């Protein structure tokens, strides 16, 4: 990502696409190895466009075309020889071949598992980073504070490493404030009671679809001062209470309880690492000096209506930092 952006210094780029491709590549690399670079990146962007048609694609016969790597792997036979070197896809394919009725997976089930993971790990994470960059560009004082923290913790000529992340407290507050004001899943995932129950005097019928409007809760003036203002500072003094564990019911962007998001740790690391890298390596200018738009659209996630178009400027004279 850094190398690609550095090759476009001084020219307007679609940062939304860059962030999406990076998140997509991390996810597919984790699942079956490899990534989409160069001309292959068009496949990742095609996936981004098609994600908005996710529900329709689930019933189309060509969903598996999104994952041609499955058939490629099957043709290779056994795949990796060492058990500890098997990737996630190889494990799934072995379950497809067991013949055990209880544990065997069909190819349709494997496709569904992969599609769910790629969707869940990519679009919500990408959307949050897109909103974070948008809000920082709209608030130069907050952006300056992030950059100052990065310079102090990482140092000018160095690259961002994972061990830096726990010390980037203001950047962490930026991510949390972004998740508060722009939760990627504003209604979370629907819940369904297996029996009719009464909660706080309300009868919840069996098999009802229950949605939690976390978007509204996290903007409620009863719990938040100036709730519509982007103020990362509000999280600096309440780190333990307002975490991602879902135990504070005024801030639970990943859900709560047994159905809480299973990818919290991964999402947190990726968002911090990508944002830190973008802001440490580059300065960002807006075409025509306009503030980025914050209009929202709700599909499966709460995304921006307009992509984030910006002009990157290198912050370092060390060319190795961009390789």
Q: Which of 25, 230, 5, 1 is nearest to 125 (CA)?
A: 25
CB 70 within 8 A of CB 64: yes
How do the residues of the chain divide into helix, strand and coil, expressed in percent and rounded to 5? Answer: 50, 10, 40
Q: Which of 168, 167, 96, 130 is nearest to 296 (CA)?
A: 130
Radius of gyration of the chain (CA): 21
**Is 281 known as a binding-site position?**
no
For 5, 51, 56, 108, 230, the CA distances from 60, given in Å and listed in that order, are 36, 13, 7, 12, 41
Q: What angle do CA 16, 19, 24 make, to 5 degrees?
A: 120
How many other CB atoms are found less than 10 A from the CB of residue 136?
A: 26
Q: Which helix (H) or strand (E) holds 272?
A: helix 264-281
135 CB-near residues (< 8 Å, 6+ apart): 142, 174, 177, 178, 181, 182, 230, 294
Which pair of structure tokens corresponds to residue 112?
């569904």
Q: Enumerate the known binding-site residues for heme.
A: 261
Q: Enumerate the known binding-site residues.
A: 261
């Amino acid at each position: 990502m850094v190398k690609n952006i550095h090759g476009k210094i001084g020219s307007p780029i679609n940062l939304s696409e860059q962030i999406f491709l990076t998140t997509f590549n991390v996810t597919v690399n984790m699942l079956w190895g490899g990534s989409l670079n160069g001309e292959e990146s068009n496949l990742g962007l095609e996936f981004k466009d098609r994600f908005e048609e996710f529900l329709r694609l689930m019933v189309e016969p060509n969903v598996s075309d999104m994952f041609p790597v499955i058939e490629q792997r099957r043709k290779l036979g056994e795949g990796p020889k060492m058990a500890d070197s098997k990737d996630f896809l190889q494990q799934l394919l072995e379950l497809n071949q067991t013949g055990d009725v209880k544990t065997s997976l069909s190819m349709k089930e494997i496709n569904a598992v992969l599609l769910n993971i790629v969707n869940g790990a990519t679009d919500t994470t990408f959307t949050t980073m897109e909103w974070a960059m948008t809000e920082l560009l709209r608030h130069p004082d907050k952006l300056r504070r992030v950059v100052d923290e990065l310079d102090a913790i990482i140092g000018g000529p160095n690259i961002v490493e994972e061990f830096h992340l726990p010390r980037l407290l203001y950047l962490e507050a930026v991510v949390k404030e972004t998740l508060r004001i722009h939760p990627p899943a504003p209604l979370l995932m629907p819940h369904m009671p297996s029996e009719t129950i009464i909660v706080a005097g309300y009868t919840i019928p069996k098999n009802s679809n229950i949605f939690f409007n976390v978007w509204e809760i996290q903007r409620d003036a009863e719990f938040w001062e100036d709730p519509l203002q982007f103020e990362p500072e509000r999280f600096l003094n309440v780190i333990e209470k307002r975490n991602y564990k879902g135990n504070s019911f005024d801030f639970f962007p990943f859900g709560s309880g047994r159905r809480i998001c299973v990818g919290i740790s991964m999402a947190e690391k990726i968002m911090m690492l990508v944002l830190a890298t973008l802001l440490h390596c580059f300065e960002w200018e807006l075409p025509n000096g306009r503030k980025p738009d914050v209009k929202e659209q709700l599909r499966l996630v709460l995304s921006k209506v307009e992509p984030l178009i910006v002009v990157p400027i290198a912050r370092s004279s060390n060319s190795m930092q961009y390789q």
